[in-house]
Structure 1
Amino acid sequence: MQHRGTLFEPLQLPCGLTLKNRIAKSAMSDSLGDGTGHPTAEQTRLYQRWAEGGLAVSIIGEVQLTGCYAENPGNLVLNEASNLDRFRELARHGSENGTKLWLQLGHAGALAYAPTSNPKGPSALDLPGLRCVEVTLDEMRQLPLEFARTAWLAQQAGFGGVEIHAAHGFLLSQFLSPLFNKRSDEYGGAIANRMRPLLEAIEATRAAVGPDFPIAVKLNSSDQLEGGFDKEDALKVVAALDRSSVDLIDISGGTYFPGAKSASDGMGRGPYFLEFAKRARAVTTKPLMLTGGFKTRAQAEDAVASGAVDIVGLARALVLEPSLPDLWKAERKPEPFFPRFSDAPEGGITAWYTMRLTEIGADKETPVFGDLGQAIRDYEARNQSRTGIWLRHFANDVVRQT
């Protein structure tokens, strides 16, 4: 299959859908839900702004299957209890201008937000800052059906596709990691078993949405932890995904386990995981997306032109400049200005970018970057407020999972 292309030519996915160019808004936890798992006006406007800016595809991060294992109390939750009309409005506005709006289907597992959850992972953990109980075999049997149900509802609400989240240390990523998966049943041990939950989720989701609806997978190249999920295992998962019905493999890396350094907080130049993408290209003909570290048009163009990847995923660059694809196409602003923060606390930079998203959704962003300390305080205050709302709204769900 010929993969070389240019940044502004279309890309056809295996399901038949054509993306209008090779630029995607990678999934981010925008934390803009209302605390009951529903979209807000600011969130709808944010994705409309990105659609207006010329993206091919925009992915909403961390959309939960239930209210039990969210990553943040601002996450969306889409299941049979949701008000589908509110999701339809988000889908409609985020899909303007030929942009495809996808939902990333998430389950935080052991990293579930403790104030609203009783975290569960592949194996029980009792570590500083990280405690969870083990997911039962019955719950594992139900999990693929939960992914499938949320994907089907996304399709009914008018979203253009889904991405199954198996990266960054959340549940499916935890199963892939021998550091966190110590199970002795069919979901533990060899990588063929550790990838079983992911493959079962894909299979059930495809059965629910049919052959023409895009399904992507976000996969770590490694979790960058000693003894964890490594590049060799990751290549085996890519080879298995090549035999599956997925339409796009979104390559990233790193984890949000306490104390682990986030790749996005690094100061490195250039795409973080490009060398792994080149190795992945050798074991799959599926379209590849690469997320992490793209800061300039030249970097994005080179990655696509090399044939290593088919589409580039931008996140923080699009928080700084929501119209970046159109600006690049018009030969303007090849590189947004990235603020530098010294002595930022863990999670602080993420909080700053998240609050910047709030400004964009309110059409109130300015060229002057706000204070880091104030952004952190605002972020924490909003989380605290939405935690109370979440606990009241999802009380019955959380009680059932204890």
Structure 2
Amino acid sequence: MSNTASPLNQRLQITPSVASKNRIFKSAMSEQMGDRDHAPTDALIHLYKTWSEGGTGILVTGNVMIDRNALGEPKNVVLDQQSDLGLFKRWAQAGTANDTQLWMQLNHPGKQIPNMLCKEPVAPSAVPLGNGLEDMFNPPRALTESEIENLIQRFAWAAKQAKDSGFSGVQIHAAHGYLVNQFLSPHHNRREDQWGGSLQNRMRFALEIYRAIRHEVGSDYPVGIKLNSADFQKGGFSEEDSMEVIKALQEEGIDLIEVSGGNYEHTAMVGSEVKDSTKKREAYFLDYAEKASKLLSIPLVVTGGFRSAEAMNEALESGATDMIGIARPLAVDPDLPNKLMADNQHKIELKTLTTGFAKLDFMSMLDLTWYEHQLDRIGRGKGPKPNLSPWRSVLRTFAIMGGHAFKRRRA
């Protein structure tokens, strides 16, 4: 039974005609549940049906790639001109049950493509990934201007298909070191044309993607963006830059901004190197949100770290955020939103994941893949297994990745 007095249970207007039934926002997690043609599987559809019944107001999909020749991971879902839209319609129908909104997150990985999937990835500039990732990701080449224009149109085309397939909205992924974030970062973007240099030029790619999407989907269809508060990287996208970008996006008419942070080189989004004061408040990026909320009149979502109804309600009541973004907790308990709204004292604990070997944990991306394995269980109707051994997760990850490493890529 929902507690209607809970701030979590209050409706939120997104556009003049679209509202979220509550303040809980399921942030994107990479599900790794696309089929061999990178289409939604029955398991993925069942996963979102389960989440729609769990009480979340807005569900955001894991990154749907706009180009099947640029995958961040082997089993990404892709929405391009080769896609079977019938399967996307089934996904949308499942995820919008129970008055739930389902938004599709649109993404391009740029240079964050494992080397087994791509010989020569593309990026704003030919700057390789560092911080121990050199052996796993090939150096990129710089995009040409015509390729940049083509990618903008791919984002817009995919957004129109998402709308036509029944998705409630779309979100541009401009965080976590993927292509749009690479353009924003002065470390990764060293171009000397209109797409690089000044912040105005570095944000041009994100703004042009938004403008092209808006042109395709119309004025009242929800379009959001996931943006880093900062990259937490020397010479990278800074908090000051981020504040300027959110102001520009609001002026353009974007409907919602989700705040996160970090990238593959500095994984702030999974809570690495969190200060004690931050742990107490739970949310990793709440300090940034408190400043950002003073600049914004559109909904702001803070994702990362929330575990208790008490901290979520405090954040909402403070005005620092309009919605609470949660991800990994929903992989362990898909019914968590219903529980949080029914009981102001409810909370969830997530265990620390390690094999005891830090390098192995890093190589297998254990903090991400363990949760992907939970999603796979839910999709197959088995339910999550919170006590799943990290070792079993690592072995499963390498078995999956190994199979793809030896599989010849299709054109």
2:101 alignment partner in structure 1: 100
Distance 2:384 2:313 in 1: 28
Give runs of aligned pairs for residues 59-70 of structure 1, distance below 5 A. Answer: 59-70=60-71
CA shift for structure 1 position 356 = 0.9
Distance 1:58 1:133 in 2: 34
CA shift for structure 1 position 334 = 1.2
1:324 alignment partner in structure 2: 336
Residue number among 161, 167, 170 corresponding to 1:153 in the alignment: 161
1:121 alignment partner in structure 2: 123
Residue number among 335, 340, 356 corresponding to 2:352 in the alignment: 340
**Between the two proteins, what is the percent identity of the paired residues?**
36
1:23 alignment partner in structure 2: 24
The worse-fitting range, judged by mean Cα deviation, of 263-272 and 277-286 is 263-272
Distance 1:153 1:368, change over 3 A: closer
Distance 1:199 1:230 in 2: 18
- TM-score w.r.t. the length of structure 1 is 0.92
SS at match of 1:351: helix
Distance 1:49 1:387, change over 3 A: farther
Q: Does 1:353 align with 2:371?
A: yes
Distance 1:385 1:332, change over 3 A: farther
Q: Does 1:226 align with 2:234?
A: yes
For this pair of structures, how many residues does the alignment match? 387
Distance 1:100 1:8, change over 3 A: same
**In 2, are the aligned partners of 1:10 and 1:18 still within 8 Å (CA)?**
yes
Residue number among 361, 379, 383 corresponding to 2:401 in the alignment: 383
Distance 2:17 2:24 in 1: 18
**In 2, are the aligned partners of 1:265 and 1:349 still within 8 Å (CA)?**
no
1:237 alignment partner in structure 2: 245
Deviations 1:345-369, CA, capped at 9 Å, x for gaps = 1111211111111111112135551
Residue number among 313, 321, 327 corresponding to 1:301 in the alignment: 313
Distance 2:345 2:203 in 1: 41
CA shift for structure 1 position 15 = 4.8
Residue number among 286, 289, 302 corresponding to 1:274 in the alignment: 286
Give runs of aligned pairs for residues 120-269 of structure 1, distance below 5 A. Answer: 120-126=122-128, 128-129=134-135, 130=137, 131-257=139-265, 260-266=266-272, 268=274, 269=279
* 2:72 aligned partner, one-letter code: E
Root-mean-square deviation over aligned CA pairs: 1.7
**In 1, are the aligned partners of 2:163 and 2:169 still within 8 Å (CA)?**
yes
- TM-score w.r.t. the length of structure 2 is 0.90
CA shift for structure 1 position 341 = 2.3
2:3 alignment partner in structure 1: none
**In 2, are the aligned partners of 1:292 and 1:314 still within 8 Å (CA)?**
yes
Q: What are the ranges of 5 or more consecutive residues in structure 1 without an aligned counterpart?
A: 396-402
* 1:107 aligned partner, one-letter code: H
1:400 alignment partner in structure 2: none
* 2:382 aligned partner, one-letter code: K
**In 1, are the aligned partners of 2:64 and 2:76 still within 8 Å (CA)?**
yes
**In 1, are the aligned partners of 2:332 and 2:386 still within 8 Å (CA)?**
no
SS at match of 1:7: helix
* 1:328 aligned partner, one-letter code: L
Distance 1:287 1:174 in 2: 25
Give runs of aligned pairs for residues 44-63 of structure 1, distance below 5 A. Answer: 44-63=45-64
Q: What are the ranges of 5 or more consecutive residues in structure 2 without an aligned counterpart?
A: 1-5
User: After TM superposition, what 4+ stretches of structure 1 lie above 4 angstroms from structure 2?
Assistant: 386-390
Distance 1:366 1:66 in 2: 31
Distance 1:372 1:49, change over 3 A: same
Distance 1:193 1:361, change over 3 A: same
SS at match of 1:336: coil
Distance 2:56 2:407 in 1: 33
**In 1, are the aligned partners of 2:271 and 2:304 still within 8 Å (CA)?**
no
Distance 1:46 1:332 in 2: 26
CA shift for structure 1 position 328 = 1.3
**In 2, are the aligned partners of 1:291 and 1:312 still within 8 Å (CA)?**
yes
Deviations 1:164-221, CA, capped at 9 Å, x for gaps = 0100000010011001100000011111110000000000000001112110000000
**In 2, are the aligned partners of 1:35 and 1:386 still within 8 Å (CA)?**
no
Distance 1:80 1:199 in 2: 23
Distance 1:9 1:250 in 2: 18
CA shift for structure 1 position 263 = 3.3
CA shift for structure 1 position 391 = 2.1
CA shift for structure 1 position 16 = 2.6
The worse-fitting range, judged by mean Cα deviation, of 195-204 and 56-65 is 56-65
Distance 1:389 1:18, change over 3 A: farther
* 2:375 aligned partner, one-letter code: L
* 2:391 aligned partner, one-letter code: G
Deviations 1:313-358, CA, capped at 9 Å, x for gaps = 1001111111011111221771112112244511112111111111
**In 2, are the aligned partners of 1:166 and 1:219 still within 8 Å (CA)?**
yes
Distance 1:172 1:387 in 2: 26
The worse-fitting range, judged by mean Cα deviation, of 325-334 and 136-145 is 325-334
